[in-house]
Amino acid sequence: MSDPQQDYDELKAAGLTLDLTRGKPSSAQLDLAAPMLDLPGSELVRAADGSDTRNYGNVAGLPELRALFAPFLQVPVAQLIASNNSSLELMHDTLVHALLSPLPGAPVRWADAGRVAFLAPVPGYDRHFAVCERLGIDLVSVPMTADGPDMDEVERLVADDPSIKGIWCVPKYSNPDGAVYSDEVVRRLAAMPTAAPDFRIMWDNAYSVHHLTEEEPELADVLALAAEAGNPDRPFVFGSTSKITFAGAGVAFLGASEANVAWWLTLTEKRTIGPDKINQRRHALFLRDGDGLRAHMAAHRELIAPKFAVVEKLLTDAFADTPGVSWTTPKGGYFVALTVPDGLASQVVALAKDAGIVLTPAGATHPYGKDPHDALIRLAPTLPPLADVEGAMAGVVTCVRLALARAGTRA
């Protein structure tokens, strides 16, 4: 086997500039939705219900687009809101509203509740954690398993502590480990006793239709299960078309119980006279129906599945027999989580940076940017062209081998 230091020196000398940091769609993926830019045109600005999309109004969004997405997000149409371009914004605003105005079932608004804390399954999505950090909501880590959060731990924590007001969940193709929540995990989340009467699940179903294989797993219906268990107001469901149409100009959705939706609309009506319905109309015309959406996502899959396959192949070729090195093989979503022996992740990221390959900072997948094991690296292969993903991953392999060699582990 070649000398890791020599390989690394050669990698550095190659002077690469490659980026595997963020889960962004590539230009080719964005091009798939290019025809949408010609819609609705001046002729089709009236929505299916006859309303004029150019005007103010309709804070809940266009019914035709809500109907299209309702089955995919598992929310009844009447309880699904279509908004502007960012679901992260909806999550942020929902928590701000909860701080300022009591949620249905809340004894007081969270700003008056003393400590407010959320459970953060780790590894998780850094922007969820950042919203809480910004708003003064404490984060309590709970481990992820292949089936979702460790439910014994979640149930233990929420049972006695009324300051734990919520949990972040990316239930399908979780960011970054690709986990799909099992029916049992969804049921337990929906039904578990919580000390906080105003406990909420932030159900960020960002990757509901983002399959990388022929399999199309269906999640258990969190809203229905919560209602059955007597906790109808527990889940807030989110989603968006950011990785379906345009990441910067999609449509975001929020779904919840009737009481939560009424609460949310009353507060949102204070900040807007209605969302961008022209964009919603454009989406409805372009995607057409469930089959149209599925066909569009299949075209995405054709573009990105080969990139994930390259990541898998290079990691397998290099580390199939290396103790302490493992990675996820996601069946959907946008990320691969690479685990290296404890204490090496930040070194690998630093080595890659010096060689011109930018990776997500080690620790970003944990609250406060601190991975106590310094072992996890999030890889995002969708944005660069395939050849660059291959080059970047070959470089990552070189960096991991060097870090292992320096640590005295077999490379």
Number of C-beta neighbours around residue 151 at 10 A? 20
Give the separation between CA 194 and CA 146, rounded to whole angstroms: 24
Helix axes 345-354 and 386-406, enclosed angle (nearest 10):
120
Cα–chain-centroid distance for residue 386?
Answer: 23
Please name which of 58, 62, 59 lies closest in space to residue 40, comparing C-alpha atoms: 62
Residue 369: C-alpha distances to residues 122, 143, 254, 394 (Å): 11, 15, 27, 26
The residue (of 125 and 236) whose beta carbon lies closer to ligand PMP is 125
Report, in Å, the least distance between residue 162 CB and ligand PMP.
27
The residue (of 318 and 337) whose beta carbon lies closer to ligand PMP is 337
The residue (of 133 and 161) whose beta carbon lies closer to ligand PMP is 133
What phi and psi, each to the nearest 5 degrees, are found at residue 141? -70, 140
Q: Assess contact for 206 and 250: CB atoms under 8 A.
A: no
Q: Is 282 exposed, middle or buried (0-12, 13-18, 19+ CB in 10 A)?
A: buried
Report, in Å, the least distance between residue 149 CB and ligand PMP.
14
Report, in Å, the least distance between residue 206 CB and ligand PMP.
4
The residue (of 222 and 252) whose beta carbon lies closer to ligand PMP is 252
Report, in Å, the least distance between residue 87 CB and ligand PMP.
3
The residue (of 239 and 395) whose beta carbon lies closer to ligand PMP is 239
Report, in Å, the least distance between residue 23 CB and ligand PMP.
4
Give the separation between CA 105 and CA 387, rounded to whole angstroms: 53
The residue (of 121 and 341) whose beta carbon lies closer to ligand PMP is 121
Report, in Å, the least distance between residue 406 CB and ligand PMP.
32
The residue (of 86 and 280) whose beta carbon lies closer to ligand PMP is 86
Helix axes 63-73 and 290-319, enclosed angle (nearest 10):
40
Q: Where are the alpha helices (DSSP H) in 14-86?
A: 27-32, 63-73
What phi and psi, each to the nearest 5 degrees, are found at residue 346? -65, -30
The residue (of 53 and 245) whose beta carbon lies closer to ligand PMP is 245
Residue-wise DSSP of 67-94: HHHHHHHT--GGGEEE-SS-HHHHHHHH
Report, in Å, the least distance between residue 168 CB and ligand PMP.
9
* CA gyration radius, the chain: 22
Name the 3-class secondary structure at 331: coil
The residue (of 341 and 363) whose beta carbon lies closer to ligand PMP is 363
Report, in Å, the least distance between residue 242 CB and ligand PMP.
3
Please name which of 53, 122, 124, 71 lies closest in space to residue 274, comparing C-alpha atoms: 53
Report, in Å, the least distance between residue 210 CB and ligand PMP.
10
Q: Which residues bind ligand PMP (CB under 6 A)?
A: 23, 86-88, 125, 170, 175, 204, 206, 240, 242, 252
